[in-house]
Amino acid sequence: MLRAVHPCHSDSAEVPADIKLDRLHLTLQAALGWTNVEMLEAINDPQHECYAEIREWIGDDFDPITLNPDQLKAKVATLAKRWSRKPPAKKLHVT
């Protein structure tokens, strides 16, 4: 899909060397202003060239129109716990 991006983008960003892939993905999307509009268009159009591939990847039960607020809150809470910074470990001072 990047071949279709015009004009060519050449900015750079610094990220921690130990950044997890899911965080890197979100960081790149935010930095480049990318959204999931293309994916939503494809899954709602069976004639779209990427329909089958995205449906296979995302599953048949995904419905972008029907939202379950409780399920979303639970997922966000899980991500927040996973992504929260842990307090620094206490250092042991030996004299």
Q: Render pLDDT for 14-60 as a digit per residue (tens, 0 to 9).
A: 888 888 888 888 888 887 777 778 888 888 889 999 889 888 888 77
3-class SS letters over the chain: CHHHCCCCCCCCCCCCCCCCHHHHHHHHHHHHCCCCHHHHHHHCCCCCCCHHHHHHHHCCCCCCCCCCHHHHHHHHHHHHHHHCCCCCCCCCCCC
Report field, pTM of the whole predicted structure over 0.75: no
Domain ranges of the chain: 19-83
Q: Encoding tokens for residue 47?
A: 């004639």
Q: What angle do CA 35, 59, 80 make, to 5 degrees?
A: 55
Question: What pLDDT band is residue 79 in, cutting at 50, 70 and 90?
Answer: confident
